[in-house]
Amino acid sequence: MERKIEQLRDVALLAHVGSGKTSLAEAILFNGKATKRLGRVNDGTSNMDFEPEEIKRKITISSSFHHCDWKKHYLNIIDTPGDDNFNSNTKSSLQAADGAVVVIDATAGVKIGTEKVWDFIDEQSLPRIIFINKMDRERADFFKVVEEISNNFNTKATPVFLPIGAEDKFQGLVDLVKMKAHTCSKDGSGNIEGSEIPGDMADEVGEWREKMIENIVEANDDLMEKYLEGEELDDKEIEETLIIGIKSGSLAPIICGSATLNMGVTQLMNLIVQGLPSPMEREPFEGTKPGSDDVVQRKSSEDEPFSALVFQTVADPFAGQLSILRVLSGTLTPESSLYNANKENKEKLGQIFLLEGKKQQPTEKAIPGDIIAFAKLKKTATGDTLCLEGEPILYKPVEPLPPVLSYAVEAKTKGSEDKVFSSLSRLLAEDPTLKISRDQATAEIILSGTGQIHLETTCEKLNNKFGVEVNLTPVKVPYRETIKKTVKGVIYRHKKQSGGRGQFAEVHFDISPLESGGGFEFEEALSGMNVPRNFVPAVEKGLNEAIMRGTLAGYPVVDMKVRFYDGKSHDVDSSEMAFKIAAIMCFKKGLQEANPVLLEPIMKMEITAPEDNMGDVMGDLNSRRGRVLGMDSKGKYQGIKAQAPMSEVLRYAIDLNAITAGRGTFQMEHSHYEELPAQLSEKVIAEAKETE
């Protein structure tokens, strides 16, 4: 069927991990005849979770996309990750949606992941539908979950369907608007039959219908007046006002079912078509004119100039890079020329693809609301805006979540370090939350991400996609060495006589400490002609080499000054090499006399945690030699500004998760260096000597 804007529905499915989002996507695709059988996550036949890492772990790691037809509408389904490690991808994918379905497990209720995705939906101001899943499972409790929803979220959430039975007796739904019952078959076919509302549910249905109407009429003043005056409202008025309430976001309808049995899914699909907006019904998208702060607006219309936002990238070892974008305005054909407003360059367009799980379907035209993909764009990355060169616009993408956990990456095969770095760089295009860097002091490749599973799956992808095998090892703490006292008149003579030309050089140094952050200073203060000036660069070169390895534990030396004030030379035996060696040895000698100490990196931290956990978080920080610098209240949460030694917070992401049951978040960056306490210093020095 040809796509028309008013028939499009771009729907993101979001949930706490394990709530059955992907199974729901499979049931929707099956009902919409986009797939011939119901894909199953547990047996690895899912159309949406197709990456090897996803099949192995039975979770969604990056959003996948598919589409189907339903009731003369075209549904674009975005199946997002639910695991905390991949929240950044979920947040980013919402930029492609016009509405959301929040899936909640009927046996587990509202979890931390539900709260997080709810906040993401709020940030994007999207309307939502709530689907209470797994009604067929033991301990499923629809009404308990409804109560949790109203206690946790400030949106007016109201059931528009009630379940008939629960657990193994779950057999269908009652439509509270039309006052009809639907019996659902349990064979996965999605078939439903109209039936009478069970007699034993009459009072319950009446009570919940009344609650629903009370919530619905708030979306329409005239209807509210009518209702308050005791007039009877007809089903059509109720339905129309319900739709207005959903689309405006003032109301979140609650429906229930079982995704794996395909029960309640057709009713959900009907509600998506009726209640969630088409791209046409969105407010105009706002961007800026490149190079200025001037606001530019684009409506979701085919008549507007073309513009789109790249919200995801997939690194494919065979097809190259696949850029996934949401068309925000205008139309696009394979002949169109594209302009990247961020990189200020033209991109050559090949085929336009619609995504169908792991497959791609070529299309001749893209319209506003379409989710499409291009292969092999040269400079385009996630977050970039593609538009027409003559009508440029820049959209602001959502910020990726900051990385919180770092590991050193070691190649399993010696000598393949460069391949590790280049392959990781390609995965960075796919996942903007990953960060890679090389630590100059320790020569390690450091990989940072949003959690343990995030980094482990990145290494699995590295192997599956590029054949590169790596190990993750704890990051080495980049300690530094410095001195605490001034030593004057340090003298070292380098003399070697062994047949032929000898080596001779003598240097006299004053060594003194500098303020923290002072780095290294070299002062040439020679007077007289004891040392020819042409040897001074060799002395400085020797010192620059020597400061890379201190005498305590082999860490770089900082915050000190060397004054080169005298020395001796020999007309024949002195050379640059002799003076370089003399400088290195004199430096080491002076360092040992100048009370050397170890410095440790201190991190600046901002922690957000629920008020209930504050005592535990503060106690834990104290046990890590942390210092709390200040606190501020953020609703139910508290913000803590603190400092702590890097060595104590290398795995803080995992520990904070455990203390706060996943509700705590934090950001961390390097602040400064401080002296390491003596007893810990001894331990670091002993370890350094062992590894030599």
Q: What is the pLDDT of residue 442?
A: 67
Work out the average pLDDT over 271-287: 93
pLDDT attached to residue 60: 63
Can you give the pLDDT at residue 130?
96
Pick the closest to residue 546 from 498, 596, 496, 495 (CA basis): 596
Where in 149-218 does DSSP place strands (E)? 156-159, 161-164, 172-175, 180-184, 192-195
How large a percentage of the chain has pLDDT more than 70?
95
Q: Per residue in 412-430, is it b (16+ CB within 10 Å) or e — as a string?
A: eeeeebeebeebbebbbbb
Domain residue limits, the chain:
5-203+250-281, 285-387, 405-473, 481-594, 598-691
206 contacts: CB under 8 Å, gap ≥ 6? none
- Residue 78's H or E segment, with its range, is strand 73-79
What is the distance of C-alpha 544 from the center of its chain? 40
**Listed range (24-33, 54-63, 157-166, 190-199) with the worst mean pLDDT:** 54-63
Provide the pLDDT for residue 547: 93
Average pLDDT over residues 435-450: 80
Question: One-letter amino acid identity for 250?
Answer: S
Q: How much is the pLDDT for 147?
A: 94
Q: Give me the residues paired with residue 411 across strands.
A: 470
Each residue's pLDDT tens digit, 202-248:
999 999 998 998 888 887 778 888 878 877 788 888 888 889 889 98
Q: 78: closest CA among 142, 124, 137? A: 124
Which of 266-275, 285-294, 310-319, 556-565 is least confident? 310-319
List pLDDT tens digits, range 344-368. Answer: 899 888 788 888 887 888 888 999 9
- Give which of 228, 387, 171 is closest to 298, Cα–Cα: 387
Q: Is 290 helix (H, G, I), strand (E, B) or coil?
A: coil
pLDDT of residue 524: 92
Q: 62-95, pLDDT tens digit by residue? A: 788 899 999 999 999 999 987 777 787 888 899 9
Q: Rounded mean pLDDT of the chain?
A: 88
**Cβ(60)–Cβ(48) below 8 Å:** yes
Q: Comparing C-alpha atoms, which of 325, 304, 487, 503 is closest to residue 397? A: 325
Evaluate whether 10 touches 328 at the Cβ level (below 8 Å).
no
pLDDT at 58 over 70: no
Q: Is pLDDT of 406 > 70?
A: yes
Sequence-ordered list of residues with C-beta below 8 angstroms from that of 228, at least 6 positions apart, any chain: none
Contacts of residue 670, Cβ cutoff 8 Å, sequence gap at least 6: 601, 602, 603, 604, 646
- 598-691 and 405-473 share a CATH fold: yes
Top-tier CATH class for 405-473: alpha beta
- The mean-pLDDT minimum among 16-30, 169-183, 447-461 falls in 447-461
Given a cut of 70, is residue 24 above it in pLDDT? yes
Per-residue pLDDT at 35 exceeds 60: yes
Q: What angle do CA 153, 129, 454 make, to 5 degrees?
A: 75
Average pLDDT over residues 625-633: 91
Reference 100, options 83, 116, 84; nearest CA is 116
Task: Determine the residue type at 35.
Answer: T
Tell me what pLDDT residue 134 has. Answer: 94
Q: Is residue 498's pLDDT more than 80?
A: no
Compute the average pLDDT of residues 480-489.
94
Which DSSP string corresponds to 297-350? EE-S-TTSPPEEEEEEEEEETTTEEEEEEEEEES-B-TT--EEETTTTEEE---
The CATH architecture annotation of domain 481-594 reads 2-Layer Sandwich (3.30)
Q: Which CATH number fits domain 285-387: 2.40.160.210, 2.40.30.10, 2.30.130.10, 3.40.50.920?
A: 2.40.30.10
**Residues 600, 479 contacting (CB under 8 angstroms):** yes
116-122: Cβ within 8 A, 24+ apart: 116/84, 116/87, 117/14, 117/15, 117/16, 117/80, 117/82, 117/87, 117/90, 118/152, 118/153, 120/14, 120/87, 120/90, 120/91, 120/94, 121/14, 121/94
Window from 146-150, 400-404, 485-489, 616-620 with minimum mean pLDDT: 400-404
What is the DSSP secondary structure assignment for residue 596, as one 8-state letter?
E
- Supply the pLDDT for residue 468: 84
Are the C-beta atoms of 342 and 379 separated by less than 8 Å? no
What pLDDT sits at residue 41? 64
Q: Give the gyration radius of the chain's Cα atoms.
A: 33
Confidence of residue 319 (pLDDT cuts 50, 70, 90): low
Band of the pLDDT at 265, cuts 50, 70, 90?
A: very high
% of residues, the chain, pLDDT over 90: 49
Pairing mode, if any, of strands 73-79 and 64-70? Answer: antiparallel
Confidence band of 634 (pLDDT split at 50, 70, 90): confident
**3 state DSSP class of 603:** strand
pLDDT tops 80 at residue 44: no
| pLDDT for 95 | 92
Lowest mean pLDDT among 36-45, 149-158, 508-517: 36-45
pLDDT at 598 over 60: yes
- Is the pLDDT confidence value at 409 over 80? yes
Cβ(433)–Cβ(454) under 8 Å? yes
Section 657-677 average pLDDT: 88
User: CATH code for 5-203+250-281?
Assistant: 3.40.50.300
Q: Which range has highest mean pLDDT (32-36, 130-134, 187-191)?
A: 130-134
Q: Does domain 598-691 have CATH number 3.40.47.10?
A: no
CA distance linking residue 354 with residue 314, whole number of Å: 14
Residue 527's pLDDT band (cuts 50, 70, 90): confident
| Residues linked to residue 503 through DSSP beta bridges, in sequence order | 496
Q: 277: closest CA among 254, 300, 309?
A: 300
Measured in whole angstroms, the distance separating CA 559 from the mean position of its chain's CA atoms is: 37
**b/e sequence 499-529, b meaning 16+ C-beta within 10 Å:** eeeebbbbbbbbbbbeeeeeebebeeebeee
**CB proximity list for 155: less than 8 A, separation 6 or greater:** 128, 249, 250, 251, 252
The amino acid at residue 202 is A
If we measure between CA atoms, which residue out of 430, 427, 397, 396 comes closest to residue 409?
427
Residue 99 clears pLDDT 80, i.e. is over it = yes
For residue 53, pLDDT over 60 is answered with no
Number of CB atoms found within 10 A of residue 606's CB: 15
Q: With beta carbons less than 8 A apart as the criterion, state whether 78 and 10 touch.
A: yes
Instruction: Using pLDDT thresholds of 50, 70 and 90, give the confidence band for residue 49.
Output: low
